[in-house]
Amino acid sequence: MPFGQPMAEFGGAGNGGWVHSVSFSASGNRLAWVSHESTVSVADASKNMMISQLKTEFLLLLSVSFISENSVVAAGHVCCPMLFNCNGRGTLTFVSKLDIPKQSVQRNISAMERFRNMDKRATTEDLNSTLETLHQNSITQVSIYEVDNEIPQVLHHWY
């Protein structure tokens, strides 16, 4: 193709947000992207550019990376990397969250101790603002850093 010539354009219903991240599969036959409206999309060149899309209920996704020919990991403002699978029929499905939750220590505290804690912070409620995920902020990038026995280990960065 000539330089500067678009190979394909993807748009239409369900693509109302701008693209945050793209990733090619290892074979180069599939292209995945995440958009501002929390949609994960995969285009398959081996199937006449068939597009599979999944609008998620999660917060904005900022990064996506293929970890196998049929699996992508996406992450973003939800503070947890998530695994998606695209089968041969073009169906894109959410598999699971990949984050290991923190083990929170619950202990009973007295009313006086609770009052002292609220008084120290000058608040009227005892609010715990830590998330129950390993990551405590948005994940801005996911990438593979090691492949062992065909099982990629995913590296994620956050700010």
| CA–CA distances in Å: residue 76 to residues 20, 70, 127 | 10, 20, 24
* Domain residue limits, the chain: 19-100+134-158
What pLDDT tens digit does each residue of the chain (159 aa) get?
788 887 777 765 455 578 888 999 989 899 999 888 888 899 998 888 888 888 888 878 888 999 888 999 998 877 778 899 988 787 888 888 877 665 544 556 677 777 777 777 665 555 555 555 555 567 777 777 766 665 555 555 544
Tracing tokens 């492949």 back to the chain, one arrives at 147
CATH 2.50.20.10 fits 19-100+134-158, yes or no: no
HSE-up of 103 (CA within 13 Å, CB side)? 0
Please count the residues of the chain: 159
